[in-house]
């Protein structure tokens, strides 16, 4: 399990560990590990360089996002893993052909969402002045 703690949350966790009486030695070791890891992630130039490289790769295309303080796990193999958010389309959602927004399948008719159908109906009325043409865009 992973938790990306902000500075305030990290300080609260460290204070709780320092006050823990159940196994003080274990608490001290865990607190030390958290402090060491935070120092490495926040001040290491190589860590920031890897974040920058990952962000450049994202800019080249794709649906991957990185937090400014993304976790970096450097490897001795000449690279690093950078924690990322990856966008995944929901196959149960249909995208409107007109506005490219995702709508619930029940709201989409012939690839067009309810809002776009209303707009298309209004456009048809304005352009052609015919109720019959506008009705082609009704449900």
Pairwise pLDDT comparison (89 vs 71), residue with the higher score: 71
Nearest CA to 67 out of 96, 88, 92, 47 is that of 47
- Domain ranges in the chain are 7-86, 94-135
Q: Does pLDDT of 135 surpass 80?
A: no
Q: What pLDDT shows up at residue 110?
A: 74
Q: What's the first-to-final CA gap in the chain, in angstroms?
A: 47
Cα distance between residue 94 and residue 36, in whole Å: 46
Q: What pLDDT shows up at residue 139?
A: 52
Q: What pLDDT shows up at residue 133?
A: 55
Q: What pLDDT shows up at residue 130?
A: 60
Strands 112-113 and 108-109: antiparallel
Report pTM: 0.45
pLDDT in tens, 25-81: 888 888 888 888 777 777 677 777 777 777 776 655 557 888 888 888 888 888 888
Pairwise pLDDT comparison (93 vs 14), residue with the higher score: 14
């Amino acid at each position: 399990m992973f938790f990306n703690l902000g500075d305030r949350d990290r300080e609260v966790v460290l204070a709780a560990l320092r006050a823990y009486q159940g196994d003080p030695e274990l608490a001290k070791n865990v607190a030390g590990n958290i402090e060491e890891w935070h120092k490495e992630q926040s001040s290491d130039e190589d860590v920031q360089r890897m974040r920058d490289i990952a962000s450049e790769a994202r800019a080249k295309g794709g649906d991957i996002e990185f937090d400014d303080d993304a976790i970096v796990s450097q490897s001795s193999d000449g690279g690093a893993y950078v924690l990322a958010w990856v966008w995944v389309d929901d196959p149960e959602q249909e995208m409107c052909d007109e506005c490219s927004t995702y709508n619930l399948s029940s709201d989409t008719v012939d690839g067009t969402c309810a809002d776009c159908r209303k707009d298309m109906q209004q456009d048809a009325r304005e352009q052609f002045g015919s109720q019959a043409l506008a009705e082609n865009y009704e449900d």
